[in-house]
Structure 1
Amino acid sequence: MDNMSLTKEKCYDPRDSTLRFVDREDELDFLYEGFSSRRALMSCGHAVTPPSLTNWCRQQLENGSSRFVCGQSGCDAEWPYAEVRKMALLTSEEREYFERNMALNTVKVHFDSKACPECKYSVTRKNESRLSVRCHICTARRGKTYEFCWQCLKEWKGDHSRTDRCENEGCYNEALKTLTTCSVITFESVKGVTGCPSIRACPTCGYMLQHSSKKCKNIRCARCKIEFCFVCLKITSECQKTSKGYCGPCSDGVAPRQTSIPVWQKK
C-alpha cells in the first residue's frame, strides 16, 4: 500500500471527543512523509498521526521489541498496546500482525531461541554475537557436530568466527545492509555536518534508530535509554566534552558507516 492510500484510510475523526487535537507538527514524521492529517496527543504529550504512529511501532516490533515506547528526545514513556491500537487506528490485519509479533518478541527477549532447521527442536543461543549455533540433538543423532546459521537457518558453512554471515548463498545481515545502504542526512540545526547516515545502530545496545535531521544531533535509544550523538556515535556526555554544544560540530567529525552491530552487555 502506498503512502497516499494509507493517508486516506488513516485519518482521525475530528468529531472524536476522546482525542485531544493540536496544531503542531507530527513528532514522528521522520518515519512517514507526504501526509496531512490532524495531530492528536499521546498520553506522553507528543503529537502523532495514525500512519506515523503505526510505522514507528511497527519498526519497534521489527527490531525485536515487545513493548512500545515514545523514544523522542527526553521521553522514555511506554505506551500501552490498547493506546497504540486506538491512536494508530490499526486495521484487523495490523492488529493480528502486531499481536503475533508482540508475543513472538516476548519469547525472544526472555529466551533467545529458534527452531533448529534440521530437527525442528528449539535451540537457545547463549552468545548473542555468535551466528554459528550447535544443536545438541542433531549432534547426538549424527554422531558429529551439527551447527546451523542463526541468520539464514541453514547448516553452517565457512569460518565459525564470522559475525556478519555464513558462506551459504543468500545469507546476509539485514540490519548491516541497512546501515551500509541508508541515505544520508544534513542536520537542520547542526552547522557544518553533512553526509551523516540517516540510520544508526545504538553504540550501547545495537538498537536501530533513524534521525529526522531536525533538532539537535543527540538521540535517546528507545531500548537501553542511553543518549548518544548521532554524528560521532559517542555517548552524549563524552561528545559534549569536546564539541561546541548540542548543535555544534563534533571534534571527531562524522563517524563512518557502521560495519558491525553492538551487542548489549546487560548488567
Structure 2
Amino acid sequence: MDDINGSSKILEEPIVGSSIMEMKKHLAQTIGISFHYVDIVCLEDGVIYENDRHINGISRPLQVMVGNPQRKIPRYLVTPEPDMIYQDVNDEELRLKMSCGHAITPDNLFGHMKHTLMSEVKPSVNCLTKNCGAEWSMQEIIKKADMTEDERIFFEWKISFNLINQEVADTSECPFCGSFCQRQQNTLPTRCSICTRKNGTACDFCWSCKSPWIVNHKCSNRELEAIQKMLNDAPLKTIDMSHIEGVPSKRMCPGCQCLIEHRDACKTMTCTKCKTVFCFVCLKVAIKGQLQCGSYNQKCEVAPVQRVL
C-alpha cells in the first residue's frame, strides 16, 4: 500500500470477499494487526463504510485507514481522576488530563471524537463532563489520542467537511446510508449521490419524512413513520468487543428518543444529546455509570427493534 497525496492509504491489490468486513480481515492479516483497527473509508465524502456493506459499488482504489492498537500517554499527562465517560472498575487503562482539566482514556477520547464527527454534522468535539462542555482543538485530540497519520488525515478532513455542511441549512442524513445530502431549491425529493453511485440508478428520498421518493408521494404521520422505517430497515451487526450477533445497528436513546447508529467498538453507548449511558444491545440504562448487564465486553440479551408508532 502506498500513500496518496498525504491522504489515507489506498489498496491496489485484487478485491477479496464480498463485504467490507471480509476485506478488512484480509487487510488486517496482511498488515499483521486486528481487523478492529482497519477501516475502509471515502475521504471525499467523509464516510467510513459499514462492515456489512457489499464491496461492489465502492470506487477504486479503496482508501484504507489504519488505526492505532496501542494508544500511549506521555507520563506527564497521566491523572488519577475518573474517566468522564465510563471505565470498568477492573480496567486499569490509564487516563489522561484534557486542557479543561477532566480525565479520559486515549481509547475513549478517540471513540468520543469519532462518534461526534461521524454521527452529527458538528465541526467540534467537546468535553462530556457535566457543566463543562469545553471545546477541544483537533491538534489536542490528535496528540492525546495518539492518532496514526491515517486517522489524522481522515478526521482533520472530516471536521472541515462537517464545518462546511453545518453552514448549509439544507442538509439532511440519507435514511439508507447515513451520509449527509444537500437539497436544491427547497424541493422535497432529495438525491443521495453515494447511494446513486453505489446502486447505479437514481436514489431519491423525501426530505420531510425520509421515505423513498415515489411519484405522487404524500407524507402521513411522517416523522414517526420515517423513524420507524429506519429502525425496521437497520442492518443487523455484530458488536465487536462482546461478539454479540444480530444487533440492530440503529436504536433510539432510552432517555431522549433521538436516533443513534452504532459504528464500532463496544456495546456501551453515551447519547451525545442527553448524555444517557445505556447498553446498545439490551437497551438497559446504566446506573451510576455502570451497565446493568455487565461489563462492556460481556454478552447480554438482544432487545428487539424498538416501536415508535
Considering only CA atoms, is the larger Rg found in Structure 1 or Structure 2? 1
Task: Tell me which protein shows more strand as a share of its residues.
Answer: 2
